[in-house]
């Protein structure tokens, strides 16, 4: 399936999304959601793949720029995992998220600003995060990052 494919299943439409785990040493860059679903929860910056995106990595680079103002070249992003459990997002349709990661110094994210779906930007130590404060199924990413 390409980034522009939308197909129908018994559960409805399949929607491709991307998320970005920006790791700064022991910390992870997160956004606090400004709107539902998971309003006020911490989540990875990300969003829907658009027809104009040349690749999933290009979509991830566009989303990180839109959500926090961070410019990252698609070639700098490394695939980490896919999140695809049914019901992982309460909105209609089934969303499959390709999660990318990039390691950056904290100084690189110092000028980030919340935009789009973000109320605020949070840089948190991976070891301090709990499942209760994380939206969607993004705690699976936290766990994967802790284990690497």
Name the domain count of the chain: 1
pLDDT digits (tens, 9 = 90+) for 73-108: 999 999 999 999 988 888 888 899 999 999 999 999
Parallel/antiparallel/unpaired status of strands 12-24 and 27-33: antiparallel
Asked whether residue 1 is domain-assigned, the answer is no
Asked whether residue 117 is domain-assigned, the answer is yes
Say how far apart CA 74 and CA 125 lie, in whole Å.
Answer: 25
Asked whether residue 3 is domain-assigned, the answer is no
pLDDT digits (tens, 9 = 90+) for 13-56: 999 999 999 999 999 999 999 999 999 999 999 999 999 999 99
Asked whether residue 54 is domain-assigned, the answer is yes
Say how far apart CA 65 and CA 105 lie, in whole Å.
Answer: 17
Tell me the residue range of the domain where 89 lies.
8-147
Say how far apart CA 58 and CA 42 lie, in whole Å.
Answer: 23
CATH number at residue 12: 3.90.79.10
Asked whether residue 53 is domain-assigned, the answer is yes
């Amino acid at each position: 399936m390409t980034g522009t494919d939308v197909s129908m299943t018994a559960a409805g439409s399949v929607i491709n999304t991307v998320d970005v785990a920006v790791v700064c040493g022991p910390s992870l860059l997160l956004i606090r959601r400004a709107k539902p679903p998971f309003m006020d929860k911490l989540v990875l910056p990300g969003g829907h793949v658009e027809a104009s995106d040349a690749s999933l990595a290009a979509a991830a680079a566009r989303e990180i720029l839109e959500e926090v103002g961070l410019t990252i070249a698609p070639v700098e992003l490394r695939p980490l995992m896919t999140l695809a459990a049914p019901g992982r997002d309460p909105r209609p349709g089934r969303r499959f998220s390709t999660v990318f990661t990039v390691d950056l110094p904290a100084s690189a994210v110092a000028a980030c600003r919340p935009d789009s779906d973000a109320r605020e930007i949070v840089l948190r130590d991976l070891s301090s995060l709990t499942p209760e404060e994380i939206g969607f199924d993004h705690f699976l990413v936290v766990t994967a990052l802790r284990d690497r």
